Structure 1
């Protein structure tokens, strides 16, 4: 037997927050040493933070990253540690991993495959390193191997796949296997998305099986830079068997997952494979070190971190935990003292208020009350709180802001939910302000405004007069105002700019209304593990969604204004995610929604495409939102579309012509 203890660490970093990031890295090394870990893999670009954006171009960033590396190296006595940082080489920037063994830098591996789709933008800053190329880089007075290299420490070979490297068919592990690699380390910054864990497990397990080696995947954690949420979940596998799985969506800054691997057993299994051995001069590509790994005795080989399927949650729980973690990190990293929510009594604002409540509960469960408060040390007002309920009263402020068109149902629903989550709840009657604006404009125009002639203007001004008061509360509290628009309504512009879009963060702008409504019913009746639920949501769930901006006798509902939400989401998926033209979307819907007549379907499809084009300017102005899946509409990170366009006029005419022939 040849037993090696491997560790993967998840870190909650902050771009360019040097001391914070360094402390987390040094804490990780100290924890690894206390757990007798021999090889420790830290996440991608953990020294600088992954989301530095165009700051990666700054020479000062690279200089400081190297200074931080110098402070890390002396802390690695009798350990092997990998850390990620950007490196400038021959006037190009590379995403690299530095391998350190016993206070000695062995070399730098450069990432070969760079993600450039959707939320990923790495090719803007980094150059992909060409396969089979090896060079040297000088740092101070020393020169180090650089590029497509692997390492031999004693008789143990260590190679790398850096995040995206493992997601491609020509992954570096294929070549490393031919060199008889023993361990592959994968430092990653892989953002959360629904069901993504299944894909990660697949490439880790398949890589370890196909390459006959041990495999360590270490990911970032938390809301690092604003939009992406990293869900941690370290994975350690050995020749196709999962040895350890780290917890996901945690509130810790540092979390180690470790497992003991029998290298000799892996070599026997690798010898039984039919892979062709690669005969080559390894002088350049293999960096050798005399480092000797400490011996692990068989009685010390019991793994502490067992594979646990609790890392896989149903979608409703994943959504709750991911957005809760995103909110917590956004709040603390922006030094905001809680949240302000305009609580209308409808689904969207209720969802946000509920998640704020869950954020407090999950955080305390994850790291304990005292550590939770310590991570919010700047928030003096909560430091004497002894319960989650006390914290909620000081962290969550909700405001119901009625006009003459508001009703008792939404008022009672809002106050009932606020009471259930222990928020500080205010009622701010804005009808006088609404009337004041309409009277001013009526006087200047020389006519009375009416619902027959000024419907949209009268609706929008009601939404807008609610914004100043909640902004004022946010300013007074030093809190973060949360805007309440969802993705379905963002797609068609069914939101009032500077009204319900007002806020510094838009937590649910990446999720569709149909899912939100089903999630609210789930949280009312089932909840987390059947225990954590909010029965007060019943008053929300019994209503039909309505903007409540027209007189009560109009019986306004959102779906009457737009179209059924499940249909809207289906058109959005076809048109935006799958890039279908109006005619193609219509043809898909004919089969998908036989309950609607063809004329109605045609009109809804046309309405969607026209509203989509007309309202791109609104999506450009939305507050930052969380990335949760491949249906995101954020124009800055995922779904780019021109503000001015032809509006699909030609394509809509094709649909009209097809429909005429159909009938």
Structure 2
């Protein structure tokens, strides 16, 4: 009976943190061996961290990666276990994203990545070349520091798999799982029984389901065991790598790591019977026909058995996957990201301008969840989590927070910044939200600051500026709203620098932003207002999803203050209310948040310009006349284009949504447009005329038919 125990890791690596990355790699190897594993799989580029980006141009990085390998070899932790490392390697002055296999103190294979990730958040081809020589292997000359330890001069480099005395192991790396012609099919047809994937895959709402389906499908077609290892945490960028290491056998899930956790190192193992793979693969005649006709894959032979030394550990049973609902993903993903950002930034907490609205309340709730996760980690015995909490809160070495609220009161501060246009209702809501989380909260009036700008303007003008409800022009109205918003930003940073000092503590606070993805897409915020912050945990989340999250948090966490927030009409409270006018966000924007979400997905995900967006919506929005659909589409593109420049200064935001407008990393479109869209809008007008000539009048016409 060929029983094999295999290990896959979630590692919280950090770009350019070679010291910390080495420590976590060694810990994962030790844990894998303690669990009886003879093979250990790590995440993509784990040695240097995935998000090094243009540091990959630096030769220093490659030198330091090999220095880390030296320390791993010196540790002798690779004795009796096949260690699969992710790191960049320069071969013939070409940079490759590689898997480096080490066994018993020797480097036995370097396998470069075949297909690069180049869409969305990824630009791998900027730094790495794909290996184009299918099934070819060359010799790589090892650095002198490695030769001195291993006695080796060269090692195989290329598209190959590893043949042990009892099985065969092949490789995919991250993107290769998602490509149409994935290597796992070819490998499976060639009798490769174990397929591994060291990945750097970020969290995105509803993405884990797709990942799990692909992995299960990879083995259900041709048989075999598939190991998936992933990065975890904030690697130094906008993305949160969500771990969730998995082991799947013949389409059945045997092991799954945590998706949202503060553990720096997690090793999941499964014991599989290799005979099950033979039986499964041999039972398909169509697979046998295709396998018999398949070209052979290169094998690197090693004198080693993966077979377990004992039969006492039984094969692992199938388990049900842990799939999170969207509301949980919205809360726990950004919460983990915020903790990583805080503990690695050197700051001593967060500051949030808390308005009493849905967006800032959702941000506060995410910080509350962050503190709960920290408490969970402390109670689970995670020493690093406790050390970080004490260091960040600047508390004594024996301090242990009794609950999440106590921790929150040490590291989370908020302030309601009201004006004459603000209501007691929003002020009270903000205080209630802060109390539910445990934040240290204050409320101030900023009218004196706002009025001072009017006085300054008076020095150069004899005119008195008025809101539109007071008879003022559009220009005056916008100027008076913007100065309130921008004054709050200045005060936020002022308080973030002084509140700890006011309590007799050293350090500073990071300012949290709370603009959602839909408002950023539309440009419905003031440039350099409270949307300008250090980080924004909800910048990639849609308004509709945020409201669902607030309902979930109110119910599941007992934060009753969030119920009132959800039921309130969204308003900026920057204008005076009258008997005939109350400011609301959707009225100001000229479109609903639901419509904004649809526009965003069509623009980014479906790649629609103005005309094709109109052509899609004319049938989906059949409750509207063609000319009404046209006006909505043109209004969206007009405001999108005149506000696109705001994206160049957008606060770094947690990436969560597929239609995020962040121009710095994800949404690479220009910021200067001809906002009239003359050619495109004329095309829409021509299509409207065609529909009208045919008598198409939306749902009314459909009902008549």
- What range describes the TM-score normalised by the shorter chain of this pair? over 0.9
Measured in 1, the distance between the counterparts of 2:414 and 2:296 equals 68
Structure-1-length-normalised TM-score? 0.95
| SS in structure 1 at match of 2:391 | coil
Moved more, 360-369 or 105-114: 360-369
Q: 1:386-425, CA deviations, whole angstroms, 9 ceiling, x for partnerless residues? A: 3211111111111000111101110011011111111100
Partner of 1:429: 445
Contact 1:343 1:399 (8 Å CA) reproduced: yes
Q: Is 1:446 aligned with 2:462?
A: yes
TM score, norm. by length of structure 2: 0.89
**Match among 574, 591, 594 for residue 549 of structure 1:** 574
Deviation of 1:481 (Å) = 0.3
Change (3 A) 1:266 1:340: same
Structure 1 pair 295–511 and aligned structure 2 pair: CA distance change class (3 A): closer
Distance verdict in 2 for CA 1:228–1:75, change over 3 Å: same
CA shift, 1:26, in A, is 0.4
Q: Match of 1:378?
A: 391
Tell whether the 8 Å contact from 2:2 to 2:307 is kept in structure 1 after alignment.
Answer: no
Please give the alpha-carbon distance, in whole angstroms, between the structure 1 residues aligned to 2:390 and 2:107.
36
Contact 1:43 1:84 in 2 (8 A): yes
- 2:521 alignment partner in structure 1: 491
The structural deviation recorded for 1:449 is: 0.7
**Structure 1 Cα separation of the partners of residues 603 and 176 of structure 2:** 31
Contact 1:205/1:241 (<8 A) preserved: yes
Distance in structure 2 (CA, Å) of the matches to 1:107 and 1:277:
27
1:276 paired to 2:288 = no
Structure 1: distance between partners of 2:2 and 2:427: 67
**CA separation of 1:356 and 1:279: change in aligned 2, threshold 3 A:** closer
Given candidates 134, 138, 146, the residue that maps to 1:135 is 138
State the Cα deviation string for residues 35-93 of structure 1 (Å, max 9, x = none): 11111111111000000000011001000100101111222111111011000011210
Q: Does 1:474 align with 2:485?
A: no
Structure 1 residue 19, shift from structure 2 partner: 0.8
Q: Is the aligned partner of 1:500 residue 2:530?
A: yes
Structure 2 equivalent of residue 625 of structure 1: 653
Q: State the Cα distance separating 1:662 from its structure 2 match.
A: 4.9
Cα deviation for residue 377 of structure 1 reads: 4.7
Instruction: Say yes or no: does 1:15 pair with 2:15.
Output: yes
Contact 1:5–1:296 (CA under 8 A) maintained in structure 2: no
Which of 115, 123, 126 pairs up with 1:124? Answer: 126
How far, CA to CA, are the matches of 1:152 and 1:577 in structure 2? 42
Report whether the alignment pairs 1:406 with 2:422.
yes
Q: Distance in 1 between matches of 2:255 and 2:647?
A: 42
Q: 1:111 pairs with 110, 113, 122, which one?
A: 113
Structure 1, unaligned runs of 5 or more: none
Residues of 2 paired with 1:43 and 1:598: CA distance? 51
Query: Are residues 280 and 638 of structure 1, via their aligned partners in 2, closer, same or farther at CA, if it must alter by over 3 Å?
Result: closer
Q: How does 1:39-438 map to 2 (within 5 A)?
A: 39-73=39-73, 74-130=76-132, 131-139=134-142, 140=144, 141=147, 142-273=153-284, 274=288, 275-277=290-292, 285-293=298-306, 295-301=308-314, 303=316, 307-309=319-321, 311-368=322-379, 371=382, 372-382=385-395, 384=399, 385-438=401-454
User: What residue in structure 2 maps to residue 510 of structure 1?
Assistant: 540
CA shift, 1:565, in A, is 1.2
Contact 2:252 2:318 in 1 (8 A): no
Question: Does the C-alpha gap of structure 1 residues 425 and 407 become closer, same or farther in structure 2, counting only changes over 3 Å?
Answer: same
Partners of 2:166 and 2:307 within 8 A in 1: no
State the alpha-carbon separation in 2 of the partners of residues 94 and 44 from structure 1.
12
Q: Is the 8 A contact 1:213 1:239 kept in 2?
A: yes
- Identify which range, 545-554 or 359-368, moves more after superposition: 359-368
1:330-386 C-alpha deviation (Å, 9 max, x unpaired) = 111212211100001111111101110011112322453763321345314355233
SS at match of 2:155: strand
Partner of 2:633, secondary structure, is helix
Correspondence for 1:558 = 585
Q: Where do 5+ consecutive residues of structure 2 fail to align?
A: 148-152, 501-507, 693-705
Number of residue-to-residue matches in the alignment = 654
Within the alignment, does 1:650 sit opposite 2:679 as a pair? Answer: yes
Tell me if 1:33 matches 2:33. Answer: yes
What displacement does 1:3 show? 0.4
Determine helix, strand or coil for the equivalent of 1:276: helix
> How big is each residue's C-alpha offset from its partner over 1:477-510, in whole Å with a ceiling of 9 and x where there is no partner?
4111011211111112111111122211121111
- Cα deviation, 1:604-648, whole Å, max 9, x if unaligned, reads 322210111111110111111111131111112221111212332
